[in-house]
Amino acid sequence: MPGAEPWSSAPDPGGETAAERAAAAVTSVCTGLIERAGPACVAVKPQLARFEALGAPGWTALEAVCAASREAGLLVIVDGKRGDVPVSAAAYGDALFGFTPTPWGEVEGLGADAATLNPLLGTDSLEPLVERAAAVGAGIFALVRTSNPSAADLLDLETGAGTPLHERIAALVAGFADDLAGSDADGLSGAGAVVGATEPKFIGRLRELMPRAIFLLPGVGAQGGAAEALGSAWTSPAAALVTASRSLVGADDPGAAAEELRAAVWSAAGA
C-alpha cells in the first residue's frame, strides 16, 4: 500500500536509521489507511516488495500492518507471488501461514489468511503451500491471468490443445479445490485465482474452469479496469474480491473512495 506521496508527507515518526524511520512512516500511513478505508473493505493486501525494500525494519512494519488489519477485523492477503521448488515452497508456507520449529521454540510466520502464489513451477510447487494453508484454514490465490500489459506474452500462449496457458493453470488451481474447501453452503474453495480486471473477456471462461475458486481481481482503478465489467466473476457474493491500491492510497478521501468502489463492486456482483 505505501506509495511515493505518503512518504514525503508523513511526519518523522522517529527511529535511528533511514530504514527505521521509513518503516515507521509506512506503518503509520498504512494503519491510517486501514482506519479510514477499512470499514468499506474485507481484506488488506500488503505488497511484500515495498516492505522488503526497507530491510528488517520493513519486515517489522509488515508484521505491524498485518496486526493492525486483524485488529480492524480485516483479512490479510499477503501479496508476494511466491513460487519455488517443493523444499523452498514449504519454507514459504511456514513464513506465510505456519511456523518454523527451532531449538529455542517455534517462530511464527506472518499468519496470513491468504497469499498470492506463482504457479509456474507446477503442482509440486503449490502442494506444500496448500498443505500449510489448509492446516490453518487459510487460502491461496494462484496467478492465472494477471493485469499487466505483458501478461499476454506467456499466459495467453496457445498450448497444444488450442487452449491458452492461463486455462491450463486454471485447471491446475481447480485441482486443489477440495484441499481448501470451506464449509460454505455455496461451495466456494480457498484455492483461489488472481484474474486481472484489465481483461474481463477471460473471466467467464475462467469461472467455468474454476467454479469454486474465489477470484482476486486486481487492476481496477490505476491500471484501467472497471468494476462494472467483472460481473461474471461472481457466482455468489463471496466469490470474488476486487483489490485497489494506488487509487485508494492516492485519494484525497480514501474512505470515500473505498465506499465508492464497494458500491460499484456490489452492483457488479449483483448483490
Instruction: List, by residue number, the catalytic residues.
Output: 81
Q: Contact, 209 vs 247, CB < 8 A?
A: no
Q: How many beta carbons lie within 10 A of that of residue 140, not counting itself?
A: 34
The residue from 38, 46, 83, 192 that contacts a copy of itself (CB under 8 A) is 83
Contacts (CB under 8 A) with a copy of itself, residues 97-126: 100, 102-109, 118-125
Q: What letter does residue 223 receive in the DSSP assignment?
A: T
Residue 238: name the closest of 22, 92, 15, 43 by CA.
Answer: 43
Binding mask 16-35 for a copy of itself (x = CB under 8 A): -xxx-xx--x----------
Pairing of strands 139-145, 189-195: parallel
Q: Contact, 96 vs 82, CB < 8 A?
A: yes
The yes or no reply on residue 258 touching a copy of itself (CB under 8 A) is no
The yes or no reply on residue 151 touching a copy of itself (CB under 8 A) is yes
**What CA–CA distance (Å, rounded) separates 181 from 141?**
14
Q: Rounded to the nearest whole angstrom, what is the least distance from the CB of residue 120 to a copy of itself in the complex?
A: 4
Is 58 strand, coil or helix?
Answer: helix
The residue among 220 and 239 lying less far from a copy of itself, judged by its C-beta, is 220
Q: Rounded to the nearest whole angstrom, what is the least distance from the CB of residue 259 to a copy of itself in the complex?
A: 25
The residue from 52, 186, 228, 253 that contacts a copy of itself (CB under 8 A) is 52
Binding mask 167-206 for a copy of itself (x = CB under 8 A): -xx--x----------------------------------
Give the list of residues 6+ apart from residue 34 with CB closer than 8 angstroms, or none: 44, 65, 68, 69, 72, 74
The residue from 149, 211, 224, 237 that contacts a copy of itself (CB under 8 A) is 149
The residue from 60, 235, 236, 247 that contacts a copy of itself (CB under 8 A) is 60
